[in-house]
Amino acid sequence: MIPFASTLWPALLLYSLSGSSPGPSSVRPSFVWQSQAAASATLSRHQKLMAVTTWGIQLTGYGQKRLTNVVQGEFDLVVIDPTDDNAVPWTKSEVSRASQGTSAQGKLLIAYLSMGAAESYRPYWKPGWRVGNPAWLLQEDPDWPGNYDVAYWNADWQRIALAQLDRAIDAGFHGTYMDLIDAYQRNPGRVTARADMVTWVCRIAAHARARDPEFLIIPQNAADLLKDPRYAACVDATGQEETFVYATDRPTESQRKRTQLADYHLWKKAGKPVLTLDYANKPALISSIYAKARQAGLVPYVTTVALNTLPPSR
């Protein structure tokens, strides 16, 4: 978010040149709002990402309100599903309105895409598909019915996934928040699984940026992939689940926190923001998570594991 002082000075300068007093009473609020909007418009998308201090995510439960909560939410960045509750894509005007929000600066609007797993409720899913048919469709996730592991290195799967990416770009999203990038951990028998994922993420980035040079690539989890120089060059930030608590309200182990925070340090050192996502309901615990995350230089968000609401940041 742009500091108020940095956007106020053009208005003060203009008034001083016209002979008016530069005091607060001489700067009309509407003029200041326009000055903020103009200054924000000059920032690159990456600069806006670097300035993010609050973020949120909602993937379902939009209902008749559609994206009203996103529009009204005071966030610098919001991740949403690219489709509504009926799997119908948001219109370009809805995406534009949601990204404009109610503030002069607007917000970065990021599309959630599962690039390391297939989902049976997506428009691309065809009747008759089952494990092994098509060949890239692997086992169903026992914890998430309707979600299937995929051979993400398979060209046919990649064509399907990139088509989803193209639709998000066409709709006007500023970037993608990519889930199941840690799927390589589910393929211990494939020697190249980790390298294949890096190659896949970089292909996604190249495809997106060929169409929109500022398109943001934000993978979720798999923080240690940043140690691969190829990966580091392809991504802009990371989202990380369950740093401080497991879903729901269960504190993570000290060793896990130490390992995660060490990986996050590498991201911050590389100039790439770390967005943390923890699932908690207890008010005192929520406050503690926000405090600990911010103390560590992270950008936290705490919500419910269903991701069907958009509670305000703290």
Q: What is the CATH number of the domain that holds 88?
A: 3.20.20.70
Do 52 and 107 have their domain in common?
A: yes
308 in a domain, yes or no? no
Do 179 and 204 have their domain in common?
A: yes
Do 142 and 283 have their domain in common?
A: yes
- Asked whether 118 and 137 are in contact (CB, 8 A), the reply is yes
Question: What is the reported pLDDT for 82?
Answer: 99
Question: What is the reported pLDDT for 39?
Answer: 52
Q: How many CB atoms lie within 10 A of CB 116?
A: 25
Do 211 and 257 have their domain in common?
A: yes
Number of domains in the chain: 2
Question: What is the reported pLDDT for 14?
Answer: 33
- pTM of the full structure: 0.87
What is the Cβ-side half-sphere exposure of residue 154, based on CA atoms within 13 angstroms?
Answer: 17
Do 19 and 159 have their domain in common?
A: no
pLDDT at 22 over 70: no
Do 26 and 50 have their domain in common?
A: no
Q: Tell me the mean pLDDT in the region 290-304.
A: 98
Do 141 and 180 have their domain in common?
A: yes
Do 36 and 63 have their domain in common?
A: no
pLDDT at 40 over 60: no
Question: What is the reported pLDDT for 89?
Answer: 98
pLDDT tens for 271-289 read 999 999 999 999 999 999 9
220 in a domain, yes or no? yes
Burial class for 100, CB neighbours closer than 10 Å (0-12, 13-18, 19+): middle
Question: What is the reported pLDDT for 27?
Answer: 36
Residues 6+ apart with CB under 8 A from 219: 178, 181, 201, 225, 235, 238, 239
Do 30 and 80 have their domain in common?
A: no
Question: What is the reported pLDDT for 29?
Answer: 40
69 in a domain, yes or no? yes
310 in a domain, yes or no? no
Domain residue limits at 20: 1-42
Do 59 and 38 have their domain in common?
A: no
Q: Tell me the mean pLDDT in the region 200-209.
A: 99
pLDDT confidence band for 292 (50 / 70 / 90): very high
pLDDT tens for 60-108 read 999 999 999 999 999 999 999 999 999 999 999 999 999 998 877 899 9
pLDDT tens for 131-177 read 999 999 999 999 999 999 999 999 999 999 999 999 999 999 999 99
Question: What is the reported pLDDT for 41?
Answer: 63
Q: Which of 100-114, 234-248, 255-269, 294-308 shows the lowest mean pLDDT across its residues?
A: 100-114
Do 216 and 154 have their domain in common?
A: yes
Amino acid identity, position 77 = L
3-state SS, one letter per residue, for the chain = CCCHHHHHHHHHHHHHHCCCCCCHHHCCHHHHHHHHHHHHHHCCHHHHHHCCCCEEEECCCCHHHCCHHHHHCCCCEEEECCECCCCCECCHHHHHHHHHCCCCCCCEEEEEEECCEEECCCCCCCCCCECCECCCEEEECCCCCCEEEECCCCHHHHHHHHHHHHHHHHHCCCEEEEECHHHHHHCCCCCCHHHHHHHHHHHHHHHHHHHCCCCEEEEECCHHHHHCHHHHHHCCCEEEECCCEECCCEECCHHHHHHHHHHHHHHHHCCCCEEEEEECCCHHHHHHHHHHHHHCCCEEEEECCCCCCCCCCC
Question: What is the reported pLDDT for 274?
Answer: 99
